[in-house]
Amino acid sequence: MKWPEIASPVDEAIRIERCGWLRLPTVYRIHRGCFPHPYPLWRFVVYLLGAESRIYVALLENEVRGYVIGTVTAQQRPYLTGEIISLAVLPEWRSRGIGRLLLEAAERFLSRSGISEIFLQVAVSNDVARALYQQMGYQQLDRLPRYYLNGEDAYLMCRRLNNPPRLAPGRSRR
């Protein structure tokens, strides 16, 4: 699968970069502001340091406007898969193509890692995010009852890539 270059359809000044230590506090502030039950900071540190995970940020005028976390995992299948852990864009910067650019960056990383499927969970009430994921080729697989701490259900969604499955270490095809 050939991935297009990262370019914003709305604003060519938006850049997508890998997150570093200096931007992590801003990323975490965005996360806490966008989600009612945020992950603890230590999880972000794990994803920042992990060899098989990436945090990307969307920058405009050198300010973080959004982020995405993607990681390689073997939780869903006996072979390696990818997971979009979190994607958030500041409310005043939504509907400008930033979420799509961030998702594409995470997908490129996961595809280069050799995974064949990308999974994510999205709140049933989050129609805007679900629409983006569907436009990007994600299909709804299941409804996860009371997935979030507030009791809200989530949809499990998946996008299949053209890569052949790569077995997870210590797993067999049985």
Contact call for residues 73 and 82 (beta carbons, < 8 A)? yes
Quickly list H helices, 9-56: 24-34, 41-49
Domain boundaries, the chain: 15-160
Which CATH number among 3.40.630.30, 3.90.70.10, 3.40.50.1100, 3.40.50.10860 corresponds to the domain 15-160? 3.40.630.30
pTM of the model: 0.86
pLDDT at 171: 52
Using DSSP's 3-state secondary structure scheme, residue 111 falls into helix
> Which residues does the chain have with pLDDT short of 50?
1-9, 174
Report CA-CA distances (Å) from 158 to 66, 76, 100, 134, 161: 22, 10, 16, 10, 10
Number of other CB atoms surrounding residue 29 within 10 Å: 13
Give tens-digit pLDDT for 43-93. 999 999 999 999 999 999 999 999 999 999 876 567 788 999 999 999 999
